[in-house]
Chain A
């Protein structure tokens, strides 16, 4: 390699060779910015994602379901924390990231702007939304930025129970009374398409993807991940005896993949624009938690300061 080779080229070469980038390594400014944006959005999604499920914590229909759901929602707080920590290794400040979320400047996954009117939604979210998230997260375990990859490994390990938790709820409902079965089918109907949209726009309309793929931040395209998810999920729906709300869905014997119908993207963009049933409510809830917690955070800092001064005083 010649001396004239730019740092960017060397960086690319290094990444191409499947090496991980660590916090203090040189990196293109755009790589850093892309990561901070992606990781913090991912963190926000975990934190906002607590809300639709927390909605059922007080109403879980058995104590076993209640503790499982609580442990799951608590994990999401932990995952948000791991992700914010990973972004902090790039020089971002958690408080700044949180403020961007609260002001509406930062994005989070639109899926969490859908309401959870029924208990079956706890099943569908665990099964479909977490299923889709896992497809994405498994890929991210191999992302090129070390701290992000390590956070994802931890998250994937913990998430394995989340999807099982959700699917088990679906099994109980699908094998239950006619009303329960209807609840399950209704939840599948409502969550199926939004779950497919979680993977983002189709590859031809996903302008930022190419650079992210080149830097190996992203390792698979939106459409590839979506296809994996569909192939995995369709047989699981069949096992439940539920039908997927897509009349064009069919198995292609040649490609060995399922083909799906047209995705209604206008709905996706409507929710992104803020027109989902819960967009406002979710941000209000997060703002309230943050504002109501300010005096608590301040008091703890004030006490810590007093204590360290006392210690200094004692030592003197």
Chain B
């Protein structure tokens, strides 16, 4: 596939108001950082969700990798308190 017209992916982080950290909100496509910021404004702050935007190319994010031989989800087995059914709620309370 020719990627001449394929824009690269950027991750978008938004600070919704002062006092809070930037939070990952999603990604988008843009050819460069100026447009990535502008696109982020148009795509992710249409309802005044933010006052500050960070963008970075997705490719420059290094992520920890769950090891396949020891899947990330095994520790869940001995933590039954994480399951909703671990807690007894009287029937008359209904769905919780």
A and B touch in their complex, CB below 8 angstroms = yes
Residues of A within 8 A of B (CB): 1, 7, 10-11, 13-14, 17-19, 24-26, 74-75, 78, 81-82, 85, 88, 93-96, 99, 150-151, 154, 158, 293-294, 297-298, 300-301, 303-304, 307-308
Contact A300 B31 (CB under 8 A): yes
B96 partner residues in chain A, CB cutoff 8 A: none
Chain A interface mostly helix, strand, loop or mixed?
helix
B28, B31, B65, B82: which contacts A303 (Cβ < 8 A)?
B31
Contact B76 A19 (CB under 8 A): yes
A164 CB, min distance to chain B CBs, angstroms = 15
Contact A1 B74 (CB under 8 A): yes
What does the 1/0 interface line of B1-31 toward A look like (CB < 8 Å)? 1011111010000000000000000111101
Could you list 13 A-B pairs, sorted by A, with CB under 8 Å? A10-B71, A24-B66, A25-B66, A26-B66, A26-B71, A88-B27, A95-B1, A95-B3, A150-B26, A151-B26, A154-B26, A297-B7, A300-B35
CA gap between A1 and B29 in the complex, in Å: 43
Residue of A17, A150, A154, A158 with highest tally of chain B CB at under 10 A: A17
- Given A24-B65, A25-B66, verify A18-B84 contact (CB < 8 Å): yes
Residues of B within 8 A of A (CB): 1, 3-7, 9, 26-29, 31-32, 35, 43, 46-47, 63-66, 68, 71-74, 76-77, 82-84
Closest to A296 in B: B5
B43, B46, B63, B73: which contacts A19 (Cβ < 8 A)?
B73
Contact A82 B6 (CB under 8 A): no
Shortest beta-carbon contacts, A-B, top 4: A297-B5, A304-B32, A300-B31, A14-B73
B26 partner residues in chain A, CB cutoff 8 A: 82, 85, 150-151, 154
A199 CB, min distance to chain B CBs, angstroms = 23
B73 partner residues in chain A, CB cutoff 8 A: 10-11, 13-14, 19, 25
CA gap between A261 and B74 in the complex, in Å: 48
Contact B82 A17 (CB under 8 A): yes
Contact B66 A85 (CB under 8 A): no
CA gap between A18 and B79 in the complex, in Å: 13
Closest to A297 in B: B5
Contact A1 B77 (CB under 8 A): yes
Contact B47 A158 (CB under 8 A): yes
A19 partner residues in chain B, CB cutoff 8 A: 73, 76
B7 partner residues in chain A, CB cutoff 8 A: 297, 300-301
A297 partner residues in chain B, CB cutoff 8 A: 5-7, 31
B1, B28, B65, B71: which contacts A96 (Cβ < 8 A)?
B1
- Given A25-B66, A25-B72, A298-B4, verify A78-B46 contact (CB < 8 Å): yes
B74 partner residues in chain A, CB cutoff 8 A: 1, 10
Closest to A86 in B: B26
A95 partner residues in chain B, CB cutoff 8 A: 1, 3, 6
